[in-house]
Amino acid sequence: MSHNRFAGVSRRALVKAAGVAGLAGLAGCFDADGGRSLENGSDGVTLDQREIHPEWVHAVSAEASELSPYRATDYASGLRTTLLLDGAYTLDEDDEFYSFWVESYENRGEESYAFTLRDNLEWGNDYGQQTADDWVWFYNHVVTPEENWVGHPTRDDWSNVVSVERESELTFVVDLEKPDPLFVRRPTMWGTQILPSELTKPYYERWVDGDGDAGHELNTADEVLEFQYAGNLGPYTFDRREIEDRFVVQRNDDYYRRGTEPDADDWEDAPYFERYVMRILPEQSTRLAELRTGGITYTELPADEAHALENESAVETVTTPTPFLRLAAYNQRENGWEPFRNQSVRQAFSMAVEKTSIVENIFDGNADVAHTFQPTYSEFYDDSHVREFGEGESYDPEAARSILERELPSAYGYDGDVLLDAEGSQVALTLVYQTGERVYRDSGRYIAAAIEDLGVAVEQRAVPGDVLLERYAYQESDSGIPTLNAGSRDRYTSDVEWDIMWSLSLNTFPRSPENIGAFFTEAGTANFMGYVPAGDLEGLLEEAATAPDIERRRERFGEVFGLLSEEQPANFMIFDNTIHGYHRNVVLTEPVSPSWGYKRHTYWASEDPHG
């Protein structure tokens, strides 16, 4: 069953519209535009059925490597820590502020934001109430010290912040260096989890006294790894962690969010499971078999298996868009094919690969065609600027061959169907992609075949992800350190030659696209492909970043993404979707959006999923 039953948000809408005091048999499904429509569900789910069931079992593929909130920035670790710590706030389906620890915020001009904490936040282990002082201390002693003593990997998120000051017991003010109307959407504050200042202080003092291990000892202290400090700040309390087996947490009886706004009804008695068990099942077949037979409540599904599961009566699937773009990068550095420095040649290659076919036939429809470095749902995407390649009429191998004939240096030429280089040999390119997922391999083969249709020989290389980065993307800087952009494309190259790199997934940052400069400006820290923009991309990005109002910002970013689609530094292939598989009894409480899961602790079950 691919449709889903929705309670929370839909109920809010329904109550407002019809004055109904409960959710009587609602079911939701998605219309063709990706929106959600409501229908009277045949499942007959009512709020009366909402009760607390014994357990939610979530199957994951990997163990977490970090459990300290100062270190846990990877996906696997974040899955665990967010069970015990909600964090400051999150963003809802409209990318708007959604309250957790921070009850509200106030924009005091474009360079100052005041955040006010709820007054019922309690740390565990007698650390008292969470107050503004905890956040001020965090900023001054974890974020700003010159040496990253605690190993906090996302300190740079705070680079535009000049101070965090206490205004009252529960309110602190964040002052910015440059105006930023989108500050609340940045990962600086949203989702940020901190430790009690009183817990951290002794370690900080030891570090100040010269103990270099103090940060590591803080991150690995039992008190931190066992979340003894977490108090009522998350939906669950820590029970135990069995290495490479499971992470078990128990329902938090004192959870601060229970029955509070927004969506007080949804949070009335949340979470709705006595315990949450995260089981590590490394093998995908095992996770899917457990889901089909009701052994687990939830797992993420691979793109090419999702359709098969939609027909399973035991499973509900939800497909959500992501900001992650998979591209086929053209190597414009010295060790790549030189004609890729010509924009028209890149365009020709991009128009020879039909993206729709990859999405439909390889990703089984569970991805979206991309045309620029921004998803269509982004408010900064303006299709009037975007030029398409490789979809519909813009997929045109014949036109691509004509462009190559016209644009390649005169020494190149076609002999029948074969493209010859200056030596009279067939042009041969290397296409490299990562191993691990069948869809990478199949798409790689498809791309190779499409390019071969242009008369070019293609050598395919499939290598592990870390090898792809280390040997093909990184270059050695003058100081000997591997870096993604060591400098001039005429001088710095990767260890191994390559021409096209498929399968890397990049974040397009739709909430705050300034970061894309890392990939597409000449000196960008992640510009591994050696792209030098022909247009004034840097100027446009600067204008967009410093635009005083959101409209101007949208216009400028619209132009940026139009320019990128025109210049095709890489073939922007597809946007990944995430496919979620739930036990059929699970009642979901939010509409499909890129923010999917922000209310996951209000999901409930109409019947015990594992009873």
Partner 1 sequence: MAWFVGRRLVWALFATFLVVTLTFALLAASPNPETSQAAWQAAQDGSDPEEARALVDQQHGAGDSLTTQYVSYMVSMFSLDWGQSTTYNEDVTSVIANAWVYSAITVIPATIIAVVVGFGIGLYSATHQYTTADYAATLVAFFGVSIPNFWFAIVLMLVFGELLGLTPISYDSEVPFWSLEHLSYLVLPITVLATAAVASEMRYARAEALEYVSATWTKTARAKGLSETAVTIRHVFRPATVPLVTILVADLVGIIFATAYVVEVIFGIPGLGYVSYQALVRMDTPLVLATTLIPVFVTIVANLCQDLAYTVLDPRIDYEGRSP
Task: Note the residues at the interface with partner 1 (CB under 8 A).
Answer: 63, 65-67, 71, 148, 151, 153-157, 216, 219-220, 225, 242-246, 279-283, 285-286, 289-290, 292-293, 295, 464-466, 469-470, 473-474, 481-485, 506-507, 514-515, 517-519, 525-526
From the centroid of its chain, how far is CA 95?
14
CB of 286 to partner 1, least distance (A): 5
CB of 555 to partner 1, least distance (A): 22
| Amino acid in position 375 | P
Choose between 280 and 359: whose C-beta lies nearer to partner 1.
280
Choose between 58 and 279: whose C-beta lies nearer to partner 1.
279
Q: Which residues are 580's β-sheet partners?
A: 300, 318
What DSSP letter does each residue of 53-116 carry, written as one string? EEEEEEEESS--S--STTT--SHHHHHHHHHH---SEEE-TTS-EEESSEEEEEE-STTEEEEE
Work out the angle between the directed axes of helices 343-351 and 550-567 (0-180°, nearest 10): 80
CB of 80 to partner 1, least distance (A): 13
Choose between 29 and 225: whose C-beta lies nearer to partner 1.
225
CB of 292 to partner 1, least distance (A): 6
Q: Which residues does 344 contact at the CB level (< 8 Å), separation at least 6?
A: 403, 406, 407
- The secondary structure element, H or E, covering residue 570 is strand 570-583
CB of 482 to partner 1, least distance (A): 7
Choose between 22 and 295: whose C-beta lies nearer to partner 1.
295
| Six token digits for residue 126 | 């007698």
- Rounded CA separation 20/6 (Å): 15
Choose between 36 and 186: whose C-beta lies nearer to partner 1.
186
| Six token digits for residue 407 | 């644009």
Local structure of residue 46 (DSSP, 8 states): B
CB of 561 to partner 1, least distance (A): 17
Of the CA atoms within 13 Å of residue 523, those in its CB half-sphere come to 1
Choose between 390 and 524: whose C-beta lies nearer to partner 1.
524
CA torsion through residues 90, 96, 101, 105, sign: positive
- Rounded CA separation 222/541 (Å): 45
User: Which among 81, 190, 78, 188 is positioned nearest to 139, based on CA atoms?
Assistant: 188
From the centroid of its chain, how far is CA 533?
26
Choose between 521 and 602: whose C-beta lies nearer to partner 1.
521
Choose between 246 and 583: whose C-beta lies nearer to partner 1.
246
CB of 539 to partner 1, least distance (A): 18
| Six token digits for residue 610 | 């594992």
CB of 413 to partner 1, least distance (A): 39
